Homo-oligomer: A and B are copies of this chain.
Amino acid sequence: MSTYKEIALVKRPDDGKIGPHLFETREKTIPSAKDGEIVIKQTHMSLDPAMLGWMSDDRESYIPPVELGDVMRSSGVGEVVESKNGDFAVGDKVMGMTGWSEYVVSNGRGFNKLRAGISEEMALCVFALPGLTATTGLYNFGKPKQGETLIVTGAAGSVGSIVGQLAKADGLRVIGVVGSDDKAEWIVNELGFDGAINYKTDDLKEKLKSLTPDRIDVFFENTGGPIQHHIVNRMNEHGRIVVCGMIADYQAEKPSPGPNWIPLIKKRITIQGFAMPDHWNEIPQLLEKLTPYVQQGKIKYRAHIIEGLDHACEGLNMLFEGKNTGKMILKL
Contact = CB atoms under 8 A, between A and B. Distances in A.
B257 A258 contact: yes
A258 B266 CA distance: 16
A121 B243 CA distance: 43
Given A62-B265, A62-B266, A221-B261, 18 more contacts: A53-B266, A62-B237, A243-B261, A245-B265, A249-B260, A255-B262, A257-B259, A257-B260, A258-B260, A258-B261, A261-B273, A268-B273, A268-B278, A269-B271, A270-B270, A270-B273, A271-B271, A271-B272
A246 B270 contact: no
Interface residues of A, number: 37
Interface in A51-96: 53, 58, 60-62
Interface in A263-284: 263-275, 278
Q: How many copies does the complex hold?
A: 2
A224 interface: yes
A250 B268 CA distance: 16
Interface in A219-257: 221, 224, 228, 237, 243-246, 249-250, 255-257
Nearest to A259: B258
Nearest to A224: B261
A61 B266 contact: yes
A18 to B, nearest CB: 17
Contacts of A243: 261, 264-265
A272 B61 CA distance: 22
A232 to B, nearest CB: 9
Contacts of A262: 224, 246, 249-250, 255
B256 A267 contact: no
Nearest to A141: B270
B257 A257 contact: yes
A157 to B, nearest CB: 15
